[in-house]
Amino acid sequence: MKRRELLFATGALALQGQQTHTAGKPAPRGSTKKIRLGIAGGGFGAGFFFHEHPNCEVTAVTDLRSDRRRRLQDVYRCKTGYESLEQMLSLEKRLDAVAIFTPATLHYHHTELAMKRGLHVYCAVPAVFSLEEAEKLRALKERTGLKYMMGETSWYREGCIYARNLHNAGGFGELFYSELAYYHDRGDLQDLITNRKTRFFEPDGSRSWRWGLPPLHYPTHSLGYLVGVTGERIRTVSALGWGSQHPWTTENKYKNPYFNEAALMETDRQHMTRCNVFWLVGEDGERAQWYGEKGTVYMANIGLYGDIHRERLGKAKPLTYPKYIQDPMVPPEMRHESGHGGSHVFLSAEFINALVDDREPEIDVYKSLAMTVPGIVGHQSALKKGERLKVPSFDKV
């Protein structure tokens, strides 16, 4: 075949493959095994659907706040509530696993408590907040042999599933460049100071962990679109930051001067990635653009434009995604709308599926760290005005 004919044929086969490729490994069938799950954290943690999985029972829940604890009990139809994670781990003897939705700065600490108790862990993002914690998490998982999964929502957004399948089918050719973005505006600057009822403050009026958070310490919603598509690892990063004079940037426990950070990263395949995380911006959403020698895919800009797939030498085509929610990985009871672009039911299903099948979750500890650690190093680079820094690997040796 001529080169042009081959390009179009490859792209057509890749698109056709979207109708048969799955979002993940099928859910177990016929198994009567029940995963007894504890859930910690009644804010974000109340937005998942573990209890709808036929192989899961939410046995206990916990939150420091009584109102959130009651909310968890209502959502998950669970009678047993505890006043703290430590109390639940100490007194609840029926658990197989814990889902952690506690403050991000405590994720590693709470993961360690659960795994030392012999429990598998599902943890909200990010996995860790330092390179030291990254090394400890890898060692902890390898020493215990327990299952660990970070709940990165971008991994199961429709655009990411589509791009992953297209990449696996060869539709991009060499995917040499990607643009990854997580834009989450913090709101009016004056309101940030005076409105103590937002999530940037605790009930007692003190500032929460979110106040002044370095943007690149929360990189996974962006990097999920790379690690979750090509499996690449970031090897070097050069980042810059921007911030104005405001208590957010001048009075925070992280000594972080930035509202927004942008990073240029190099992968282990010598590919390029631009990774943005912005807290103060007239924009919103999590999305990516993937550029390959044969094709390019653009995710929508906050819904203003439809997602697009364009083949080289061809016209751009609007994307209509397959009904991924009907994928065999999602039990019929869970096939409904959910948060973060429908990803919550996929994440809930994958964690329980993996435990029932006694396999590693798709988003295992190594992929979790690959999506987290580059941002930690990227923030260090931004503080050094863009110095190019090496990103250590925490993959299995």
Q: Kindly list the strands in the beta sheet with 148-150, ordered across the sheet, starting from the edge strand earlier in the chain.
A: 81-82, 56-62, 35-40, 97-100, 120-123, 148-150
pLDDT value at position 53?
Answer: 97
| % of the chain exceeding 90 in pLDDT | 78
* Model confidence at 16: pLDDT above 90: no
pLDDT value at position 304?
Answer: 60
Mean of pLDDT values over 319-329 = 91
* Model confidence at 5: pLDDT above 70: no
Mean of pLDDT values over 129-152 = 98
**Structure tokens belonging to residue 187:** 């709101």
On whether the CB atoms of residues 130 and 105 are closer than 8 A, the answer is no
On whether the CB atoms of residues 98 and 113 are closer than 8 A, the answer is no
* Model confidence at 102: pLDDT above 80: yes
Sequential DSSP letters for 246-307: SHHHHS-TT----SEEEEEEEETTS-EEEEEEESSSS-EEEEEEEEESSEEEE--STTSS--
* Model confidence at 355: pLDDT above 80: yes
Mean of pLDDT values over 142-166 = 96
Residue 1 pLDDT level (bands cut at 50, 70, 90) = very low
Q: What is the pLDDT of residues 46-96, one digit of tens each?
A: 999 999 999 999 999 999 999 999 999 999 999 999 999 999 999 999 999
**Structure tokens belonging to residue 323:** 């009904």
* Model confidence at 354: pLDDT above 90: yes
| % of the chain exceeding 70 in pLDDT | 94
Mean of pLDDT values over 233-237 = 98
Q: What is the pLDDT of residues 246-277, one digit of tens each?
A: 999 999 999 999 999 999 999 999 999 999 99
Mean of pLDDT values over 120-142 = 98
Task: Give me the chain's average pLDDT, please.
Answer: 91
Side-chain half-sphere exposure of 351, counting CA atoms within 13 A: 33
pLDDT value at position 43?
Answer: 87
Q: Is residue 279 packed enough to be buried (19+ CB in 10 Å), middle (13-18) or exposed (0-12)?
A: buried
Q: Is residue 207 packed enough to be buried (19+ CB in 10 Å), middle (13-18) or exposed (0-12)?
A: middle
pLDDT value at position 303?
Answer: 59
**Structure tokens belonging to residue 342:** 């429908």
Instruction: Report the alpha-carbon distance of residue 324 to residue 155 in Å, rounded.
Output: 13
CATH architecture of residue range(s) 155-322+364-390: 2-Layer Sandwich (3.30)
Q: Where are the domains of the chain?
A: 155-322+364-390
Higher-confidence position of 5 and 390: 390
DSSP annotation of 217: G
Mean of pLDDT values over 271-294 = 95
* Model confidence at 4: pLDDT above 70: no
N residues, the chain: 397
Mean of pLDDT values over 109-116 = 97
pTM (two decimals): 0.92
pLDDT value at position 381?
Answer: 98
pLDDT value at position 359?
Answer: 97
Residue 20 pLDDT level (bands cut at 50, 70, 90) = low
Residue 220's nearest CA partner among 352, 340, 321, 382 is 340
* Model confidence at 19: pLDDT above 60: no
Residue 37's nearest CA partner among 339, 328, 348, 331 is 348
CA 99 to chain centre: 14
Mean of pLDDT values over 331-359 = 94
Beta-bridged to residue 317, according to DSSP, are: 309
Residue 368's nearest CA partner among 59, 76, 155 is 155
Say which residue the tokens 């506690």 belong to: 102
